[in-house]
Amino acid sequence: MLLSNRVAVITGGARGIGRAIAVKFAREGAVTVIADIRAEEATLTLQQVSEVKSSGIFVHCDVSNSAQVQKMVNQAIAAYGKIDILVNNAAISPPENSLANITEEEWDKVLSINLKSVFLCCKAVLPYMEKQRYGKIINVSSVGAVSPAPFMADYAAAKSGVIAFSRSLALQTAPLNICVNALLPGITRTELHDSVIPKGMTKDEHFSRAAKMVPMKRVGEPEDVAGAALFLASELSNYITGDRILVSGGFQ
């Protein structure tokens, strides 16, 4: 198995892409720490993890809060003694809005959850990876960072920041055998898209229309992103750092 005896922290692991990554990692031998605010959905993730003969724990954590992030990392270390993999996946997708109508509070919330959380989690986990001179950090950005949609300036700014942050941190940690990379999912069938579905349109109608823009003629599934995350988390990618991988069916 590709992740035997590895410990992975996955933020936003209660559903969607985070859940798919947790289950994929579990199948490959990792134990998982699910950091999220959605306890009920996180329980379902852990049930799926247990079904593939692995184990994990849920830690309630607002990843934009430094004290809660540090407490989450402390619990992971107390439970498993190390952290080998960090997947910064937690994010929100704000409704489309013109810049004039984005409030300062809304801007701060998107930047805090989608970008500041990546900084906080990396800062808290890095000392343990530095000590063991090994680590894989996967920061989930978005195709929207390199091909931003109109009326989503806050989201685009945060996700672009994730890419630049990942590149800078990768250069810092490369001598320590710590790889830092960014994943850029395209249009993916998750709950995150609920906020951008036009009124009067069903989810199926929305994703069917979106698929027409994708060269592969389908939208992504969480498992598509999980497969790329597995590659970056495993030793197959030991000489890859500071890079970004688009998981978008050719859309960019």
> By residue range, what is the domain housing residue 155?
7-192+222-246
251, part of any domain: no
Question: Annotated active-site positions, please?
Answer: 155
Query: What is the per-residue pLDDT across 29-43, written as a single tens digit (0 to 9) for each?
Result: 999 999 999 999 999
217, part of any domain: no
Look over the chain and give the mean of its residue pLDDT values, rounded to a whole number: 96
119, part of any domain: yes
CB 92 within 8 A of CB 109: yes
212, part of any domain: no
- State the pLDDT at residue 159: 98
How many Å apart are CA 184 and CA 5, to the nearest integer?
27
Distances (CA, A) of 236 to 25, 96, 179: 14, 38, 12
202, part of any domain: no
CB 83 within 8 A of CB 9: yes
Q: Does the structure show a pLDDT above 80 at 195?
A: no
74, part of any domain: yes
The mean per-residue pLDDT over the stretch 93-120 comes to: 96
Q: Does the structure show a pLDDT above 90 at 224?
A: yes
The CATH number linked to 164 is: 3.40.50.720
Three-class SS of 185-232 = ECCECCHHHHHHCCCCCCHHHHHHHHHCCCCCCCCECHHHHHHHHHHH
226, part of any domain: yes
205, part of any domain: no
Give the DSSP letter string of 31-81: EEEEEES-HHHHHHHHHHHHHTT--EEEEE--TT-HHHHHHHHHHHHHHHS
Query: What is the per-residue pLDDT across 139-192, written as a single tens digit (0 to 9) for each?
Result: 999 999 999 999 999 999 999 999 999 999 999 999 999 999 999 999 999 987
For residue 194, name the pLDDT band (cuts at 50, 70, 90).
confident
Residues β-bridged to residue 138: 87, 181
For residue 19, name the pLDDT band (cuts at 50, 70, 90).
very high
> For 61-161, where are the E strands, in sequence order?
85-88, 135-140
How many Å apart are CA 61 and CA 67, to the nearest integer?
9
Domain count, the chain: 1
